[in-house]
Amino acid sequence: MPHLWRSTLLRGLGLFAILFAALLAAAAYFPTFEENAPLYKTLAVIPTLKEILNVVEEGGVWGYMAGQQYFKGCNTMGVAAAILFAVGAVAGESERGTLEVWLGRPVSRDRLLLERWLGGALAVCVPVFASSYAMNWMMDFSEVDSHFSYTLLTLASAHQCALLLAIYSATFFLSVIGDQPHRITFGMLFFNMGMFSMYMIESITKWSLFRLADPSRYLTIQRNMSLEGGVVYPLLAVTAGFLGLSLWRFRQRVP
Amino acid sequence: MIRTTDLTRSYGQHLALQPLSLDLEAGQVLGLIGPNGSGKTTFLRMLVGLVPATAGSVEIDGVRLRGDGKNVRERATFCPGELGFYPELTCRAQLRWCLRGRHRDAEQTAIQIADRLGLPIDQRLRSFSHGMKRQVLFSAAMAPDVPLRILDEPTEGLDPTKRAQVLDIIEEQVEDGRTVLLSSHHLGEIDRVCERMLFLAGGELIGDEVASALAERSRRLLLISWANDRDAERVRPAVEALADLGVKLLRQDGPRFSLELPNDDPRAFLEALLQDHDLPAPHVIEYGKLSLGELYLNLYGVEGL
């Protein structure tokens, strides 16, 4: 198997294992959570945390599972994976010294870059969909009498992936123009931690990127059974924009 | 095989390669010589489209470089000077990675070359020495069935035995009708395998010599030293006066003169010079076939090789 696709498969499996394990643990904990939800709300002193708990309570099992899978799992581990999978795309080759050989082969630069982008994008998105589709099995496993339609799981996963792809593509662009993957990684992780912190502060929470994929969004998706175009399409436009910029800058890249 | 027309590269205000026009024939080993920072690597990278030209054009095997240079890389292999590897890959997997986009036979040929060089094919690269890694890149560059091989210092870090093996393989390639453009700091190996030599300094082509003509020039070069600078200054007018005999003063380093004679017999020049008994006698006289390094230092005044 070519090196790129083996690497994609391993990364994807790694992210899937983490998301799956976290979601399975969360599913198993649901009965306890449901029982103690009022108590948790009294303990939540941060207003935004209390708001999350209200949304989760309002959404029932779906609110809880969507919060666990998308808001908690994907917005932390998924974002970290998106950054880590993108950062080495070109800057990693440069740091390793393999950029010259990589570019010196008779393969067009556009193709090289699109393959890299696609490999990483699949490694980020497929685990999100796959672990989401496992939710119904987890419900059975935890003996929770509730199931979600695959349309809902697909829409919710697509919504989450739109955010992850935007972060992935922004990091990918930095990798195309950069030489130091560690510096880019720390920068992007710091940025996202900052965004998460902003989410928790009531006065500035509306400016946080993670407002775009918090539990209330997933309740809206469940209610309308459609994607939130006002969020997803701009995120996809950001993704396309960064990919276009990456292709443009990569054509001029010198080893 | 290689034709460049006013090929130029600049980085901001810095001109890394001054307008360079060349027409290099097929079926020979071409040597590219120059001190560090002379523009050798930039030139080689430009030939395969790794570094875009600021101006000018490149044509390889009758095909003009367009876009990102894929059309040229289909006709040439490039062995970079910089060593970079995936340490987790085996030698075999790394060769496969390097040969992406080439005909499938290339992998088998690369393995044969690597095997001939004594590389452990199924061992991971993390255990390879610097020289072994260099040979992996070399094996990959020599394998595809293309008319041109561009090698940027392929013997750097190799022991003398391996270096000789690499040069043998290069010579075999030329016997098979291929062209090899070889950049190196090792003047001995350039001298051994190259039929034509290009000399770069400061991003400028300052010499383009056929090996046999260079050897002939080497035999016409006379290095003559006096005991001290004062003696040399006294002799200098007499030396310059001998220009009628076809003697050219190339350079003077203190008491040492580098002279190019009209033929490889210095006797006529020395007799004429020593006629004037008032002049001090020479201290050291060197002539015959000089090394490439001495030759370039004296012909072009460039040090650092």
Determine the pLDDT at residue B73: 95
Instruction: Taking residues A54-74, report their average pLDDT.
Output: 91
Position A1 confidence tier, pLDDT thresholds 50, 70, 90: low
Residues above pLDDT 70, as percent of chain B: 98
Q: Measured between alpha carbons, how far is residue A75 from residues A27, A80, B9, B66, B205 in Å?
A: 18, 8, 45, 43, 57
Contacts of A10 in chain B (CB under 8 A): none
Average pLDDT of the residues in B29-33: 92
**What are the pLDDT digits (tens) for B161-206?**
999 999 999 999 999 899 999 998 777 778 788 989 898 988 999 8
- Residue B289 pLDDT level (bands cut at 50, 70, 90): low
| Average per-residue pLDDT for chain A | 93
Query: Do the Cβ atoms of B102 and A106 come within 8 Å?
Result: yes
Nearest Cα residue to B245 out of B268, B224, B223, B264: B268
Nearest-CB residue to B80 (from A101, A252, A254): A101
Query: d(Cα B122, Cα B120) in Å, to the nearest integer?
Result: 6
Size of interface A-B (CB pairs under 8 A): 67
Give A113's pLDDT tier (boundaries 50, 70, 90): very high
Amino acid A198: pLDDT: 94
Q: How many whole angstroms from its chain centre is CA B293?
A: 11
Nearest to B50 among A3, A110, A255 (CB): A255
- The answer to whether the Cβ–Cβ distance between A101 and B84 falls below 8 Å is yes
What is the pLDDT, as a whole number, of residue B267?
86
Q: Which of B128, B125, B134, B218 is nearest to B184 (CA)?
A: B134
Interface test with B, best of A105, A116, A252 (most B CBs within 10 A): A105
Average pLDDT over residues A31-49: 85
CB-nearest partner of B48 from A3, A97, A104 = A104
How far, in Å, CA of B44 to CA of B77, rounded? 11
User: In this prediction, what percent of chain A has a pLDDT beyond 90?
Assistant: 81
Gap from A108 CA to chain B (nearest CA, Å): 6
Is 90 exceeded by the pLDDT of residue A38? no
Question: What pLDDT sits at residue B304?
Answer: 57
Q: Does A251 touch chain B (CB under 8 A)?
A: yes
Q: Quick one: average pLDDT of B205-224? A: 84
Check B84 against A106: CB less than 8 A apart.
no
CB A11 within 8 A of CB A81: yes
Burial status of residue B43 (CB atoms within 10 A of its CB: 0-12, 13-18, 19 or more): buried
Confidence of residue B121 (pLDDT cuts 50, 70, 90): very high
Question: What is the structure's pLDDT at B221?
Answer: 86
Indicate the SS3 state at residue B34.
coil
- The residues near B129 (Cβ < 8 Å, ≥ 6 apart) are none
B87: closest chain A residue by CA: A96
CA end-to-end distance (rounded Å), chain B: 27
Q: Which residues contact B126 (CB under 8 A, 6 or more apart)?
A: B87, B88
User: Region B210-234: what's the mean pLDDT?
Assistant: 86
Q: Which residue type sits at B213?
A: A
Residue B14: which H helix or E strand, with range? Answer: strand B14-24
Residues 6+ apart with CB under 8 A from B69: B48, B49, B50
CB pair distance less than 8 Å for B97 and A99: no
Residue of A95, A98, A250, A251 to mutate, interface with B, max B Cβ within 10 Å: A98
Report residue B220: phi and psi, to 5°. -95, 5
Q: Is the pLDDT of residue A54 over 90?
A: no
Q: How far apart are CA B239 and CA B217, in angstroms?
A: 19
The predicted structure's pLDDT at residue A143: 86
Bridge-based pairing state of the strands B148-152 and B76-79 = parallel
Under an 8 A CB cutoff, do B45 and A252 touch? no
Looking at residue B305, its pLDDT comes to 57
Supply the DSSP symbol for B31.
Answer: E
Mapping DSSP to helix (H, G, I), strand (E, B) and coil, where does residue B191 land? helix
Query: Are the Cβ atoms of A108 and B70 closer than 8 angstroms?
Result: yes
How confident is the model over B11-23, as a mean pLDDT?
Answer: 90
* CA–CA min distance B72, chain A (Å): 8
- How confident is the model at residue B303, as a pLDDT? 64
Mean pLDDT over residues B274-295, rounded? Answer: 80
User: Which tens digit of pLDDT belongs to each residue from B83-114?
Assistant: 889 999 999 999 999 999 999 899 999 999 99
- State yes or no: pLDDT of A177 exceeds 60: yes
- Mean pLDDT within A112-139: 96
Question: Which residue has better confidence, B47 or B216?
Answer: B47
Q: pLDDT, tens digit, for every residue of A201-235?
A: 989 999 999 999 999 999 999 999 999 999 999 99
CB contact under 8 A, A104 and B78: yes
Nearest CA in chain A to B78: A104
* Cα–Cα separations (whole angstroms), residue A202 to A188, A205, A207: 23, 5, 10
Distance CA B182, CA B153 (A): 7
Candidates A103, A249, A252: best to mutate against B (most CBs of B within 10 A) is A103
| pLDDT, mean over chain B | 89
The C-alpha of B296 sits at a distance from chain A's nearest C-alpha, in angstroms, of: 30
Question: DSSP state, B185?
Answer: S
Residue type, A174: L
Question: What does the pLDDT read at residue A61?
Answer: 92
